[in-house]
């Protein structure tokens, strides 16, 4: 992006940060109610995702090691913190650079996991399976985040395992800048990446496959991407320009991944988080009112509008990493623009939690910038949530960003229902009469009649106090979500938050694997 002159603000930033940090010593309750309680009415359904970056050990694990015990405990602790913050989905990077956080026929074990590429954990176990199970145990969606084309983070090939694609298929790999990439224009590469997705989707209980913005790499000034020979072989006869052929190549991969998921994991969604500007309006009448120096369509050859219009992807997460009012790329304008161009896909906003209190732009030093962005998204009926970059920034960032999110996500939210993957809806659960005990109110229920083969993915427990009208559309009445994918015949839950002298009404619903809610159970009423 082009830069703007921030004037004397840069010199004032350190002092301002110190003042803000002193201010943040105020009681958290006051902080939440004043600064952060401005993100709009809570939604019953909202995707509250967070990117968990493993590349360069940014978020997880903090340091690589072949010994798994510490990593397992670290993952559990990370999920606990994210869950307590209010997130209901993790987008975890499991293939950062042609490597894997799982035993793979197509990639070596990641050096970011064990310290050396190709070295398995000792004792060896399936890391990805563990990560998914722990997320589901906490009632969180797990989306496997893959970087499809990146082969390495530098040009030091001595760090690469002999069974890495660089050595196994050297003719597929090209250098660009200071990294190696798979050549997107080769049909063999697309087949290889489809096989990678099939391996994950066929073996693991994922909720989605996720690609970020790294398609063709971001341009290096004065250096063309070295794919001219591939263009002559595979594109010249059909395309007038190499740019059109590059977009075609990426389009084919996106379409193939969609088909692969439909075959191997029809319940799983396919999502992409493209660069936040597709094209400027000056270059295309359909473009946004922005002045970005690059756009995804022309620089990365990523035509997200086409993918959404064709129904090849289930959700879009444009990375809107600019503040509201930014003259070059206004966050508010881009939210509106993407909501008008989301096609058949759901739309989530990519939020820059990493910039809060740390960016040189003065707006990111204001504690209400991120809540204002969330409020904008919640007020737009075409936006179904967001994903925050990245885990460490949401938990340990400046200006009390975690307290901000906790206040914003104080009410539980169901995940948005899948748009193109419906499936059967669970029957009404069979809720027994609620029973008062010394430790609280005991609820017991069974899955609904006819659901022996179609058991809910999880259950929702609603509670209404006194004469409150029963309205399942109000998220403030969601009391409890069971963990995902249990498949049990019987469930029980103890509500230990009731108060003596009050009457409570409970209702339970079942949620399908595609996050569709079935009919409610009969009401159970109890007086404490």
pLDDT digits (tens, 9 = 90+) for 242-286: 999 999 999 999 999 999 999 999 999 999 999 999 999 999 999
Instruction: In whole angstroms, give the CA distance from residue 385 to residue 86.
Output: 13
Which one-letter DSSP state was computed for residue 448?
A: P
In this prediction, residue 29 has a pLDDT band, given cuts at 50, 70 and 90, of: very low
In this prediction, residue 453 has a pLDDT band, given cuts at 50, 70 and 90, of: confident
Which one-letter DSSP state was computed for residue 483?
A: P
Give pLDDT, residue 16: 46
pLDDT, one tens digit per residue, over 36-65 is 444 567 899 999 999 999 999 999 999 999
Give pLDDT, residue 258: 98
State both tokens at 302. 């990523």
Domains, the chain = 9-408 (3.20.20.80), 430-527 (2.60.40.10)
Give pLDDT, residue 8: 36
Strands (E), 47-135: 47-52, 89-95
Angle of helix 68-85 relative to helix 127-137, nearest 10 degrees, comes to 30
Beta carbons of 519 and 502 less than 8 angstroms apart: no
Instruction: In whole angstroms, give the CA distance from residue 87 to residue 97.
Output: 26
What is the DSSP track for 340-408?
Answer: HS-TTSEE-EEE-GGGTTTSSSGGGGSTTHHHHHHHHHHT-TT--EEEEE-HHHHHH-STTHHHHHHHH
Closest residue by Cα to residue 153 from 54, 289, 271, 240 = 54
Mean pLDDT estimate for the chain: 92
Give pLDDT, residue 26: 38
pLDDT at 486 over 80: no
Closest residue by Cα to residue 196 from 99, 114, 118 = 99
DSSP lists the bridge partners of residue 182 as 173
pLDDT, one tens digit per residue, over 66-88 is 889 999 999 999 999 999 999 99
pLDDT at 420 over 90: no
Burial 278-306 (b: 16+ CB within 10 A, else e): bbbeeeeeebbebbbebbbbbbbbbbbbb
Give pLDDT, residue 66: 84
Give pLDDT, residue 39: 58
Beta carbons of 296 and 274 less than 8 angstroms apart: yes
> Chain centroid to CA 356: how far?
19
Burial 144-166 (b: 16+ CB within 10 A, else e): bbbbbbbbbbeeeeeebbebbbb
Sign (positive/negative) of CA torsion 377, 378, 383, 389?
Answer: positive
Q: Which residues contact 427 (CB under 8 A, 6 or more apart)?
A: 447, 448, 449, 450, 451, 454, 510, 518, 519
Would you tell me how many other CB atoms lie within 10 Å of the CB of residue 216?
23
Least confident of 14-23, 170-179, 219-228, 509-518: 14-23
> Chain centroid to CA 358: how far?
22
In this prediction, residue 485 has a pLDDT band, given cuts at 50, 70 and 90, of: confident
Least confident of 54-58, 354-358, 447-451: 447-451
pLDDT at 1 over 70: no
Give the Cα-Cα-Cα angle 119, 125, 127 (nearest 5 degrees).
Answer: 85
Least confident of 3-12, 281-290, 411-420: 3-12
Least confident of 13-17, 106-110, 228-232, 305-309: 13-17
Beta carbons of 380 and 402 less than 8 angstroms apart: no
Give pLDDT, residue 475: 95
Provide the percentage of residues in the chain whose pLDDT is more than 70: 92
Give pLDDT, residue 528: 83
Give pLDDT, residue 487: 67
CA dihedral 61, 65, 70, 71 (to 10 degrees): 40
> Chain centroid to CA 449: how far?
34
Least confident of 9-13, 282-286, 317-321, 412-416: 9-13
Instruction: In whole angstroms, give the CA distance from residue 251 to residue 312.
Output: 9
Q: Peptide bond before 460: cis, by omega within 30 degrees of 0?
A: no
Beta carbons of 325 and 376 less than 8 angstroms apart: no
Instruction: In whole angstroms, give the CA distance from residue 455 to residue 446.
Output: 10
Q: Residue 99: is it exposed, middle or buried by C-beta count within 10 angstroms (0-12/13-18/19+)?
A: buried
Q: Residue 375: is it exposed, middle or buried by C-beta count within 10 angstroms (0-12/13-18/19+)?
A: middle
Give the Cα-Cα-Cα angle 290, 294, 295 (nearest 5 degrees).
Answer: 75
| Distance separating the N- and C-terminal Cα atoms of the chain | 60
pLDDT, one tens digit per residue, over 381-407 is 999 999 999 999 999 999 999 999 999
pLDDT, one tens digit per residue, over 200-224 is 999 999 999 999 999 999 999 999 9
């Amino acid at each position: 992006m082009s830069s703007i002159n921030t004037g004397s603000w840069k010199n004032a930033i350190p002092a301002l940060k110190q003042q803000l940090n002193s201010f943040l010593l105020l009681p958290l309750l006051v902080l939440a109610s004043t600064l952060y309680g401005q993100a709009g009415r809570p939604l019953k359904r909202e995707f509250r995702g967070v990117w968990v970056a493993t590349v360069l050990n940014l978020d997880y694990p903090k340091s690589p090691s072949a010994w798994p015990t510490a990593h397992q405990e670290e993952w559990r602790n990370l999920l606990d913190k994210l869950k307590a913050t209010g997130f209901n989905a993790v987008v975890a990077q499991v293939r950062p650079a042609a490597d894997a956080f799982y035993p793979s026929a197509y990639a070596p074990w990641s050096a970011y996991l064990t310290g050396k590429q190709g070295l398995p954990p000792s004792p060896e176990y399936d890391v990805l399976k563990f990560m998914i199970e722990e997320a589901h145990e906490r009632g969180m969606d797990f989306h496997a985040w893959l970087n499809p084309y990146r082969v390495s983070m530098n040009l030091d090939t001595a760090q690469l395992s002999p069974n890495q694609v660089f050595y196994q298929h050297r003719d597929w790999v090209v250098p660009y800048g200071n990294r190696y990439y798979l050549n997107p224009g080769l049909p063999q590469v697309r087949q290889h990446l489809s096989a990678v997705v099939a391996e994950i989707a066929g073996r693991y209980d994922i909720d989605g496959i996720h690609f970020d913005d790294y398609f063709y790499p971001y341009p290096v000034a004065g250096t063309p991407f070295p794919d001219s020979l591939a263009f002559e072989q595979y594109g010249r006869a059909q395309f007038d320009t190499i740019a059109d052929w590059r977009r075609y190549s990426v389009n084919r991969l996106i379409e193939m991944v969609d088909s692969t998921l439909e075959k191997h994991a029809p319940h799983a969604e396919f999502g992409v988080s493209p660069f936040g500007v597709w094209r400027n309006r000056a270059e295309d009448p359909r473009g946004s009112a922005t002045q970005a120096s690059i756009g995804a369509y022309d620089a990365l050859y990523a035509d997200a509008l086409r993918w959404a219009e064709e129904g090849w992807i289930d959700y879009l997460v444009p990375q809107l990493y600019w503040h509201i009012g930014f003259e070059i790329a206004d966050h508010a304008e881009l939210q509106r623009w993407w909501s008008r161009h989301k096609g058949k896909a759901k739309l989530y906003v990519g939020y820059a939690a990493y910039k809060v209190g740390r960016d040189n732009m003065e707006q990111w030093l204001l504690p209400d910038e991120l809540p204002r962005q969330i409020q904008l998204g919640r007020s737009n009926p075409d936006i179904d949530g967001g994903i925050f970059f990245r885990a460490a920034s949401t938990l340990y960032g400046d200006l009390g960003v975690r307290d901000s999110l906790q206040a914003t996500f104080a009410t539980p939210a169901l995940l948005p229902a899948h748009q193109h993957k419906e499936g059967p809806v669970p029957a009404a659960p069979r809720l027994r009469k609620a029973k008062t005990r010394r430790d609280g109110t005991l609820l017991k229920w069974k899955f609904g009649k006819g659901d022996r083969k179609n058991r809910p993915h999880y259950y929702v427990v609603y509670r209404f106090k006194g004469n409150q009208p029963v309205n399942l559309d109000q998220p403030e009445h969601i009391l409890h979500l069971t963990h995902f994918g249990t498949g049990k015949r019987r469930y029980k839950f103890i509500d230990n938050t009731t108060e003596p002298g009050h009457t409570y009404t409970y209702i339970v619903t079942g949620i399908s694997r595609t996050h569709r809610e079935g009919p409610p159970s009969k009401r159970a009423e109890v007086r404490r």
